[in-house]
Structure 1
């Protein structure tokens, strides 16, 4: 992987919202059509995750049905990375990952994007989609 792409993916809690903003192209679970959305990605213990605040999300349903997708890096570097998503279902693992994500989101620099404090970790663990991303 190109060094610029590696740096773009190496976000930390101090990274601004723009650094964590990517697009993902998924295959529709029902339609089979390509769908592209903008989403934030998160890095926990060196691993990449996709998630959002608690809710049912079509991108998650798409990745459950068709786990291969394209991860479009657009800040610091531009690249279309082939990737695979795997749902994180283990409750202890979800709690560990969401604790780090919620702590990250409660950083003062995100105040302009999210009302703080962000919903409690328990709400994220029980109601948020969570996908682990690996690059092909």
Structure 2
């Protein structure tokens, strides 16, 4: 299953999203608010450098729920560890964030997950 046009449009309109992951140790649902990013025509989750529980949860359990204003969508997270892909994607995201600091720090220490529909 791929994202419907309606789901993609809804996500394009909504930068701040909530996600519910499954805890890697507890197995319990964990809901947080985060930002989604658009780069290379695809949707991403990332954050300033540092460890993130949501990222560890997605690595352990890739399926999660993306909560949009008017719907909940089951998606998969694809953690991005390839240096070239990280450089390409974060190189598009980070310069747009005036508060972000250096691209190098994001490449070295920020989680990066592609949101995959279906």
- Give the alignment's TM-score, normalised by structure 2: 0.91
1:95·1:122 contact (CA, 8 Å) conserved in 2? no
Number of residues of Structure 1 aligned to a counterpart in Structure 2: 115
Partner residue, 1:82:
74
Partner residue, 2:57:
62
In 2, Cα distance between the equivalents of 1:64 and 1:96? 21
Q: CA RMSD in A?
A: 1.3
Q: Note the residue ranges of structure 1 that are not aligned, 5 or more in a row.
A: 12-18, 107-115
Structure whose alpha-carbon radius of gyration is higher: 1
Matched, 1:101 2:93: yes
More strand by share: 2
In 1, Cα distance between the equivalents of 2:83 and 2:113? 13
> Could you list the runs of 4 or more consecutive aligned residues of structure 1 that deviate by over 4 angstroms after TM superposition?
none
Please show how residues 17-96 of structure 1 align to structure 2 within 5 Å. 19-74=14-69, 78-96=70-88
C-alpha deviations, 1:48-91, integer Å up to 9, x for none? Answer: 110110000000010010000001112xxx11011001110111
- Give the alignment's TM-score, normalised by structure 1: 0.80
Q: Note the residue ranges of structure 2 that are not aligned, 5 or more in a row.
A: none
